[in-house]
Amino acid sequence: MSHTFQKIEAVLLPTAIQYTPEGSDPKAVIHQWIHAIASDYPLFAEHQGICKEHLIEILKLSNLYKDKVTFKKKLPSTPIKPAIKSTFTFIDLFAGIGGTRLGFQKNGGTCVFTSEFEKNAQQTYFENYGDYPFGDITKIYVKNIPDHDVLVAGFPCQPFSHAGLKKGIDDTRGTLFHNISNILKDKQPKFALLENVKGLISHDKGHTLQVILRTLISIGYNCNIDHEIITRGSLKQLQTEAKKMVLKSVDFGVPQNRQRIYIVLWKNIDLKQFEYPAAINTDTNVGSVLIDNPDPKYTISDRLWEGHQRRKIDNAKNGKGFGFGIVNKDSLYTNTISARYYKDGSEILIEQEDKNPRKLTPREAARLQGFPDEFLPNKSDVQAYKQFGNSVTVPVIVELAKQISFQLKKNTHDIA
C-alpha cells in the first residue's frame, strides 16, 4: 500500500469512526468513501448526513485531493482490477473472498458495498480488491447502505420456525436471511442473486426454501418459479422447479463436480422468465489446474494415507460408501472442494507416481474454483483452503452476471 493512500486513510479516520457500525472496522467505511469519491457513486452513511463535499474538503486541507482524476490515481494497484467501463452497481453480501464480485466486475459491475464477517476472509478480500469489507451485517443500518442495481449474497442456510407462518418477511426473523430481505425491501434493487448449496432444496423437507421464496415474493420480487406454486403448491412441486436453478461447475469449463442453487430475482423489470446460462460443453480435465513441481509438503504422510484407505474399506463394509477421492491429470473432474479440505484433503487427492498422493496446493484450489492466477490466496494454507472451499465458482458467476447485465441494459434501453 502506498504512503499516500495510508495518509488518506489517516486523515479520514476520525470522521469514519463516527459512522462505523458495531462489528465493523473503520477501514471499511474509509475504503468505501475513498472508492465512492474516486468513482462517483453514493457514500456509505449518506442517510446520516455525511457528504462528499465534506470529505473532499478534509482531504484538500491535507493536499490529498485536487480533482477526481488525480485522486483516483492515488488508489493502490490491486491484483483484481475493477470494471473498465461501469454499467451498473451491486453490493456483495456474505462476500467471502469475492468470487461473486469478480464475476460481476467482469461484466461491467461496480461494487459499492461489501460485507463479510470472517476476519481472515476480509484480509484476503482487501489484498485483492483494495476494499476492506464491513463486518456483522446484523449491526448495519440498512438505510446507510448505498443504493444499487443488483444485490448478490451467498447466505448461510438456516432453518425457520413452522409456527405461525405469515407468509412474509416476519417469518425469517432471527436468521441472517432476514437481513438480506430487509435490504431488498428498503433498497429495491432491480436484480438479486442468492447462492446456496444444492441441499437448500431438501433442507427441512423443502420448508426452508418455501419460507425464503414466500418472503421474497411478499416484498415484490419474482423468480422463475410461479407465485402460485410458491404460495399454494406442494413442497414437492416447489423442489422440482427449484432444481432447474441448480448449475454445475463442470458445465462451465471447471473440472469440479460442484452443484449450487442460484436464485435469480427481479423487480420492476419487464421479464417473465430469467434465462439461466446453458452449459458451455467445454471438455475438462484435472490436469488443467495442476501446477508443475508442487512442494513435497503437499504429499500426505504414510499414516494419513493408511488412515484414508482403512476408512474407505470400513465405510464400504458398513454400506456408507464414503471415503477419499483420488484423481489424476486425465480425470475429467474432482469431487467438490469443501471448507474442511485443510483437515486431510480426503475429498480431492492427486495421484503421484511411486509415492503417496498429495493434496491440492492453494493455487490449484484457486484454479479449481475458477480464480485467475493473479488472485492472491491467503498466506495461510489452512485459511486459503477454507476460503476457496467456501467460495463460488467464478466462471458460473460470470455467465449469470452476463445475463443479468444484459437484462439491465435491455430494461434501460426499453425505458429510454
Beta-ladder partners of 110: 89
Beta-ladder partners of 299: 358
Task: Tell me whether strands 109-115 and 88-93 are parallel, antiparallel or unpaired.
Answer: parallel
Catalytic residue status for 157:
yes
Nearest to 268 by CA among 185, 186, 187, 190: 190
Q: Amino acid letter at 183?
A: I
Is 60 exposed, middle or buried (CB count within 10 Å of its CB: 0-12, 13-18, 19+)?
exposed
In Å, what is the CA distance from 109 to each residue of 129, 151, 212, 409? 14, 11, 26, 12
Nearest to 397 by CA among 195, 115, 185, 139: 195
Backbone angles phi, psi at 44, to 5 degrees: -65, 135
Nearest to 403 by CA among 249, 200, 266: 266
SS3 state of residue 274: coil
In Å, what is the CA distance from 329 to each residue of 241, 323, 333? 36, 20, 9
In Å, what is the CA distance from 44 to each residue of 50, 66, 240, 348? 8, 22, 40, 42
Per annotation, catalytic residue among 51, 111, 157, 223: 157
Locate 109 and state its grid cell.
Answer: 459491475
Backbone angles phi, psi at 109, to 5 degrees: -85, 145
**CA–CA dist 264, 401 (Å, integer):** 10
Q: DSSP letter at 222?
A: B
Name residue, grid cell 473503520.
Answer: 26
SS3 state of residue 192: strand
Q: Which alpha helices (H) appear in 206-336, and where do they start and end?
A: 207-218, 227-232, 235-242, 302-317
Locate 376 and state its grid cell.
Answer: 492472491
Query: What amino acid positions are annotated as catalytic residues?
Result: 157
